[in-house]
Amino acid sequence: MKAHTKETQATMTPAKSLQFLKEGNQRFQNNLKANRNLLEQVNDTSDGQFPFATILSCIDSRVSAELVFDQGLGDIFSVRIAGNFVNEDILGSMEFACKLAGTKLVVVLGHTSCGAVKGACDHARMGNLTALINKIEPAVAAVKEPKDENLRNSKNLEFVDNVSAKNVELTIENIHERSKILSEMESNGEIKIIGAMYDISTGAVEFYE
């Protein structure tokens, strides 16, 4: 499989880009990697890059977007931060990726048993991590069940995963509210912004369509 070129990127649509990621995740689950020569892709992308998707995911060592979607060099922009939320810098990176570099799809990828989300559920406080946790805590408050405070913590993995899903939803809302560029591009059909959840126990990605 060759690296994307300006010509192949131009043929990509938001829907086609999403299908590429779905097919890549199926290959990953079945341990069937696409046939690609990474060193050849190094050479092919030395003069430019033409990715088709931008993926915001967690720093979790088990959730590498390139691996779980079976993508090669030059295929995706990968933005990683604990808890997969957005700030001004990440939004600027996404705007660059879509408006200037031509990606057609933005994926906010959460995952099960997320450590950052667990920290938010427990209202953890530690150094600079405190400010990061504060950005995820709105998702904790937005999940109304269970009401019993004894069950609203990191020991309740169902609650943790529900908060992770809500965090993806709120992150997409933040993208729409805080990035006029990305919102207008989506309204014009140039890009699609979509949420997804990676299951660390199966390797499967569920897209929120």
State yes or no: 122 annotated in a binding site: no
DSSP code per residue over 174-196:
HHHHH-HHHHHHHHTTS-EEEEE
CA distances from 183 to 15, 77, 93 (A): 17, 19, 15
Peptide bond before 138: cis, by omega within 30 degrees of 0?
A: no
Contact 171, 85 (CB under 8 A): yes
CA distance 108 to 196: 6
Would you give the end-to-end CA distance of the chain in angstroms?
A: 28
CA distance 107 to 86: 12
CA distance 17 to 110: 19
Which residue has better confidence, 80 or 4?
80
For 144-183, b/e burial (b = at least 16 CB within 10 A) is eeeeeeeebebebeebbbbbbbbbbbbbbebbeeebeebe
* Residue 139 pLDDT: 98
pTM of structure:
0.95
| Residue matched to tokens 């997409």 | 172
pLDDT higher than 90, residue 104: yes
pLDDT band of residue 70 (cuts 50, 70, 90) is: very high
pLDDT tens-digit map of 19-48: 999 999 999 999 999 888 888 888 888 888
What domains appear along the chain, each with residue ranges and CATH number? 6-208 (3.40.1050.10)
Q: Which residues pair with 110 in a beta bridge?
A: 197
pLDDT tens-digit map of 108-154: 999 999 999 999 999 999 999 999 999 999 999 999 999 999 999 99
pLDDT higher than 90, residue 3: no
Which is it for the CA torsion 190, 77, 8, 13, positive or negative? negative
State yes or no: 60 annotated in a binding site: yes
DSSP state of 153: S
Arithmetic mean of pLDDT, 85-105: 98
CA distances from 108 to 79, 123, 169, 198 (A): 10, 23, 9, 11
pLDDT band of residue 1 (cuts 50, 70, 90) is: confident
DSSP code per residue over 74-102:
TTEEEEE-TT----HHHHHHHHIIIIIT-
* Residue 73 pLDDT: 92
CA distance 74 to 51: 5
Which is it for the CA torsion 125, 82, 85, 157, positive or negative? negative
* Residue 76 pLDDT: 97
Which is it for the CA torsion 138, 143, 148, 154, positive or negative? negative
